Amino acid sequence: MENNNAEQVELTEEELLAQLDEQHRIRIEKLNDLKANGKNPYEITKFDFTHKAQQIRDNFEELEEKDVMIAGRITSWRDMGKANFIDIRDDSGRMQVYVRIDDIGEDNFKEFKKWDLGDIVGVSGFVFKTRRGEISVHAKSIKLLSKSLLPLPEKWHGLKDKEERYRKRYLDLIANPEIKDTFVKRSMILREIRSFLDSKGYLEVDTPVLHTLEIGAAARPFVTHHNALDIDMYLRIETELYLKRLIVGGFDRVYEVGRIFRNEGMDATHNPEFTSIEMYQAYTDYYGMMDLIEEMYRTVALKVCGTDTVPYQGKEIEIGKPWKRMTMKEAVKEYTGLDYDSWTSDADAVAQAKTKHAEIADTATKGEVLIELFEEFVEEKLIQPTIIYDYPVENSPLAKRKPTDPAFTERFEYFINACEFGNAFSELNDPIDQRERFTKQVMEKRKQGANAQIDEDFLTALEYGLPPTGGLGMGLDRFVMLLTDSASIRDVLLFPTMKPLSD
């Protein structure tokens, strides 16, 4: 291997160029000619543009015949001999530029004609409208600011392969500028969520990404190693336990916009790293969080989309209407006809579930049967925003038990288009109950080979006293998918996780 590398290093410039495809080779040769003539475009450090393309279009009457300076990437070229029309694109849109030999000089025009699609240029000129009525800039001078050594895909507008678009988002943004709107809207959504929570008296905080414990939660963590401390560490799978420590410490309302990492599968709604927003409020319960999330969704949808009824994958999602609220028992009864309250034992629950051909383990508890029936028969029916509350204690280790029915917890999830969008609790603040549930959770994880441990410091915090608290976690990415009508989480992540290509 070392010998091969040595041979590659010894290749001449001509031999290296010969290995490239023709267009790539030609463009590098053009760059070398520019450098040889003292015109290396990469040495230019700045260009003081005065306007963006959209500003010129929006203010044409004011700017007509006025001088402007604009900059952007050449995306099309119409050669008419001694006069050329090019389109350049900046982050606001496209602008046509008229370049004529009589205006920029013969030598400069000759050099200009050697440039390529994809090159980044700066233009000084005046605003005018062509005979066909198109707002344009008549160039007095034009300068090459950066050389594009690779051609744009299929005459710059033909990048259609989604896999390629996700892998090369920079090229996707060049070739399909309309997708930029999704990410502009994502930024707006995040800004409006922050504004909403701030207006409610919440404080945004940051908590650690690296943890020293693998906790007992269901999600699998990514493992890394801290060299100086010589210990394994875990990328966080949630922000919950640290945020609740802050409620113990005296903050009444906190939230975090946090990058989360889960070592699990990928599909249309899951990426190994994603953004969650968790919020905790002292002296309220899960009903308070129900009201909060409904108001937040309506407010953000109106601010970002101008409407609280949004199209999503062929459906009209009515965010603005009061959300339907059902207990999990009520939902299972409505969609399957099976009544939890009629089950006389765990065995009876399993037997009744099997009449619906549900795949239920014979050892399942009544709570586990209810969960399985909900996931198999109910979830897919929840198209309009729906809150499902009162979950069995079996799958809610951090939620407070219902005082009237200890088999259930004060927990809810909300669903839109058959997908879970968020999860909330009346937070468990009994340190003894919490230890028992953590212990059970950790033992289950260890049976699966995990190095799960109990977070003793969190339990210590609870022993100092956590006030009654409502907590909620929501996935930002799924909310962005909803408000941008995006079918896949990859469409709303600038750089989604991708399997590496083979060499």
Instruction: Enumerate the known binding-site residues for Mg(2+).
Output: 413, 420
Angle between helical axes of 286-305 and 476-484 (0-180°, round to 10): 40
**Numbered residues of the known binding site:** 413, 420
**Which two three-digit tokens encode residue 301?**
């949808």
**Residues in Cβ contact with 192 at an 8 Å cutoff, skipping those fewer than 6 apart:** 299, 300, 303, 304
Cα–Cα distances (Å) from 449 to 163, 454, 462, in that order, read 34, 15, 28
Confirm if 254 and 246 have CB atoms less than 8 A apart. Answer: yes
Q: What is the distance between the alpha carbons of residues 49 and 124, in angstroms, rounded to a whole number?
A: 8
H or E segment to which residue 29 belongs: helix 22-36
**Which two three-digit tokens encode residue 257?**
């916009």
Closest alpha carbon to 379 in 336, 315, 442: 336
Q: What is the distance between the alpha carbons of residues 454 and 409, in angstroms, rounded to a whole number?
A: 21
End-to-end CA, the chain: 15
Amino acid at the residue 172: D
Closest alpha carbon to 269 in 127, 125, 420: 420
Alpha helices in 226-378 (DSSP H): 240-249, 286-305, 328-336, 346-354, 366-373
Q: What is the distance between the alpha carbons of residues 484 and 229, in angstroms, rounded to a whole number?
A: 44
Phi (first) and psi of residue 431, to 5 degrees? -65, -30
CA atoms within 13 A on the CB side of 479: 29
Closest alpha carbon to 71 in 90, 54, 87: 90
Alpha helices in 113-223 (DSSP H): 162-167, 169-175, 180-199
Phi (first) and psi of residue 250, to 5 degrees? 120, -5
Bridge-partner residues for 64, per DSSP?
Answer: 127
Amino acid at the residue 161: D
Q: What is the distance between the alpha carbons of residues 426 and 468, in angstroms, rounded to a whole number?
A: 7
Which residue carries 């009061």 as its tokens? 322
